A and B are shown apart, each in its own frame.
Chain A
Amino acid sequence: MYDPVVTLQRVSKVYSRAGTDVSVLRNLSFSIPAGTFLAIMGPSGSGKSTLLNLMAGIDRPTSGVVVVAGTRLHELSEGDMARWRARHIGYVFQSYNLIPVLTAAENVELPLLLTHLSRKERTDHVKTALRLVGLGDRMDHYPRQLSGGQEQRVGLARAIVSDPTMILADEPTGNLDRESAEDILTLFVRLNRELGKTIVMVTHDPRAAERAQLIRHLEKGVLETPP
């Protein structure tokens, strides 16, 4: 158990666009305790997704230190980072990003191919994850045969199937109708409350953010200090 799960120390991120430096994150320092369901809000271009990507280890800060699950991410090579991510991070994308030629069950099984689980154990894990998100009867369906809400639930099942330390969700309800969005958010709440999962969700939807335990606002690369 890592507590805090995430610690950022004086993290800045600067992108170079057309010869001009654009500062996306400025000197951020904060930590996320284990078991927290945190929503990070902010307008487009505020740096929400960049912050999430730094925590997931799919981007690197220009300066500062990112420590997640006890690991200083800047010290890892690309290969080690991938291995670390497989163990600690479950990532939920806004546009689901399922592999279209794989069934729901096969998509969910994908992260488990990196583990030492037997085929039967993998199948059991996949069934459990899909039942948890309410898709036990859609295991053999391909993404094109599922609704957007169902696709996102498969995406969530894929994120939790390997029991990662933390779930990161980038606008998980951004492409969904209200009802489907509520279903997904309810699942996040359940995962947090019943299974103690640490969840960081980036959103610009206040109704989605309200379901989190904690809301932080990011404005022009600076995290608003909570009252």
Chain B
Amino acid sequence: MTLGRLILRNTVRRPVRLLLTVGGLAMVVLAFGLIRLTLDQWQAGSRAALKNRLITVHAMSDELRLPLAYKDRLTVIPGARTVHFGAVFGGVYQDPKQSFGSFAEQASTFFETYPEVVLSDAERLAFQQDRRGCIIGHRLAARFGWKVGEAITLKGTVYPGDWELVVRGIFRSTSPNVMGEGELYLHWAYANERLKTTEPDRADQVGWFVVRAADGINGQTVAEAIDASFANSSAETRTESEQAYFAGWVARSGALLRGLEWMSGIINGIALLVLVNALAMAVRERTREYAVIKTLGFQPRHLVSLVLGESLLLALLGGGLGLVLLFPAAQLYAVMTQDRGYVSSYLITTETIGACLAVMLLVGLLAAVWPAIRLIRMTTLEGLRHAG
């Protein structure tokens, strides 16, 4: 017999309450974990982005376009190794609800710019040689059942009209948070060619340039040189590392992220209330038992350890169950949100697991405070007279 065994027996003595408490805590951890995952994934792009990959966009807004002619001037900027460009294509498949990330890119520099793309040499070549070709991430392929060689028709939103494309490759990504596996890439030249006839005013414009700084060259210096060369032009540029660009994008979503962080805090508060309620009921019911234990000679610190042990055990049981449920829930969440384009995968990191466990430990500690104080204040005589 040890006090640990008494803690264990006390914890499981009311199975229904145990089930409800642990279940409630597990749901809380699940919600907290999913919010953490969303926040993590939102910031993962920034963490995984390359520092020497510079993104040049219109200085006034990401939504505005830059002239294709800037390419030649970028190429001669000292330290610029590769100059790539692209634009949002905005394709949907059959139904507007079936949208996904789709981008028109310069095919000749695409693979050099994005080494994260894993594709066979034959597929790379097939894509580059076919102006109507496209490559798709394996998750997108799985979503619509597309195969290599298959002809697909997309409706363009940014580039209007029906677009007949041929799948030339299905890729995986070594960094899904930067190069999503639920996305489609087609030739910018093909998209631009059509635009010249349908909307000539919008032709020969790009959404962004991507400049890879040469090895050993400070990317910041190159970025400053780029922006300086377009200063006082009709379309001034803003150039920053891909990492800074993603970080800025995340920061612009600040209100939403802060909202999610607030929600995390509220959820933890709910967990605390669930546990305090369960413990308070348990301690009230066992007041007489605790008084008997005191009569036998146990000290207030022993009673505190009984309550604290039970609180931590409940919190860890709830946290553990919540974490077990988090894995399938994250997969389900990824499937449900894969067409939104923002979040490409839900990988549960050790930080997320650690955060969930740390929060539950903290909740377990805090929840024990009030019942423990009540027990410390309770005299043995009051406890023995308790009619609970």
Contact = CB atoms under 8 A, between A and B. Distances in A.
Contacts of A110: 1, 293, 296
Contacts of A86: 296-298
A83 B297 CA distance: 6
A interface residue count range (under 10 / 10 to 19 / 20 to 34 / 35 or more):
20 to 34
Interface of B: 1-3, 5-6, 9-10, 13, 288-289, 292-300, 379-381, 384
Interface in A76-105: 78-79, 82-83, 85-87, 89, 91, 93, 97, 99-102, 105
Nearest to B301: A79
B16 to A, nearest CB: 16
B6 A99 contact: yes
Contacts of B298: 82, 86, 114
Nearest to A106: B1
A83 B301 CA distance: 12
B155 to A, nearest CB: 67
B301 to A, nearest CB: 8
A58 B384 contact: yes
B9 A102 contact: yes
The 6 A-B residue pairs with the shortest CB-CB distance in the complex, in nearest-first order? A86-B297, A101-B9, A58-B380, A97-B292, A109-B1, A106-B1
Nearest to B8: A101
Contacts, number: 64
Contacts of B1: 102, 105-106, 109-110, 113, 122
B381 A101 contact: no
A59 interface: yes
B133 to A, nearest CB: 70
A92 to B, nearest CB: 10
A148 interface: no
Contacts of B297: 82-83, 85-87, 89, 111, 114
Nearest to B11: A101
B311 to A, nearest CB: 17
A157 B288 CA distance: 20
B286 to A, nearest CB: 9
B295 A56 contact: yes
Interface of A: 53, 56, 58-59, 78-79, 82-83, 85-87, 89, 91, 93, 97, 99-102, 105-106, 109-111, 113-114, 122, 158
Given A83-B297, A102-B1, A93 B9 contact: no
- Most chain B beta carbons < 10 A, residue from A85, A105, A122: A85
Contacts of B299: 79, 82-83
Nearest to B5: A106
10 contacts: A56-B295, A58-B294, A58-B381, A83-B297, A86-B296, A86-B297, A99-B289, A99-B292, A102-B1, A114-B297
Contacts of B300: 78-79, 82
A87 B297 CA distance: 8
Contacts of A59: 381
Contacts of A91: 295-296
B186 to A, nearest CB: 68
A100 to B, nearest CB: 8
Contacts of A102: 1, 6, 9
Given A58-B381, A59-B381, A106-B1, A111 B6 contact: no
Given A78-B300, A99-B289, A101-B13, A85 B295 contact: yes
A218 B243 CA distance: 86
Contacts of A58: 294-295, 379-381, 384
Contacts of B293: 99, 110
